Amino acid sequence: MKFPTALSVRSIAKEFDCALKGDDTLSLTGISEIHNVNEGDLIFVDHPKYYDKALRSKASAIIINKEVEVPEGKVLLLTEHPFHVFNAILKRYNPHTHFQEDQYNIDASAVIMSNVSIGKGVSIGPGSIIHPNVVIYDGVQIGKNVVIQAGTVLGSNAFYYNKKNNNYHLMHSAGGLVIEDNVEIGALCSIDKGVTADTIIKSGSKLDNQIQIGHDCVIEENCLIAAQCGIAGCVTIQKNSVLWGQVGVTSGVTIGHNVVVLGQTAVTKSLAPEKTYSGDPAVPYRMNLKQKAAIKQLPDFLEGLKKK
């Protein structure tokens, strides 16, 4: 997420009660998560597992809960509760609003059917059709000739929690959702907005009914996703790939271009392009067939061992 204007790190530290170490003359242009960070960004880290990754990242400023050596050209904002400070900054510069009429941009040729709820700053392009009972949250951008079937929810909060003292604290979702041209989304789908960046469904992709897509995902051009797929946050599915029914995808992985993932496959790591996969966990299809054939032979194999 970009700030409306560049902010001095001193002003942020003062407003959110953080101590400063390092170059306190820096100006910050945005706030981001550790997996999607650029120079000028502010990030947070509160777990030893990720200290090194955060300190070595492109981030210019890091909210942290440990006294460490400051990397050259960076600044640290020290606080006991980095997550809460990070969350407060997100809310300060990108607050949620209630649904408000006449604060969106809908092309005259778009068709909006009954009982559609549209949030602030939504854009809907020419020729798009929004079916009944769709909910479109703040800031969602919908291109031209897009079809959204009944009951779908676009731009809901990320399922992103920070656990402290046995309590779960929700991360404020300050990113957006972009649906490009000629996309079709089936009934009763749920697509989350990004946390600090955008979730993106690129042009020509088609989604079946009852699909969940998590925050900060990128579905590239001309992908096909069948019913009841569940895709966790920060996943990239490259162009021309197909996921058949009930595929589950763990967070942070990349599915290469021109991949086919067969039904009920569990994708637990990134998949190389130009292949067909199946199984739990996903492996190339022919390997999965061999594994199944070997399992069928296990009873006879074990019986033979007993006779020896």
Structure tokens at 135: 């909910």
Contacts of 59 (CB under 8 A, 6+ apart): 32, 34, 37, 39, 41, 42, 43, 74
Distance CA 220, CA 231 (A): 14
Q: Out of 84, 96, 131, 215, which one is annotated catalytic? A: 215
The single-letter DSSP state of residue 226 is -
Q: Is 98 a known active-site residue?
A: no
Distance CA 154, CA 200 (A): 11
Distance CA 44, CA 34 (A): 8
Distance CA 27, CA 195 (A): 22
Distance CA 188, CA 153 (A): 7
CB atoms within 10 A of CB 308: 4
Distance CA 210, CA 226 (A): 9
- Strand 190-192 to 167-170 pairing: unpaired
> Which stretch of DSSP H or E encloses residue 236?
strand 236-237
- For the chain, give the number of residues: 308
Residue positions annotated with a catalytic role: 215
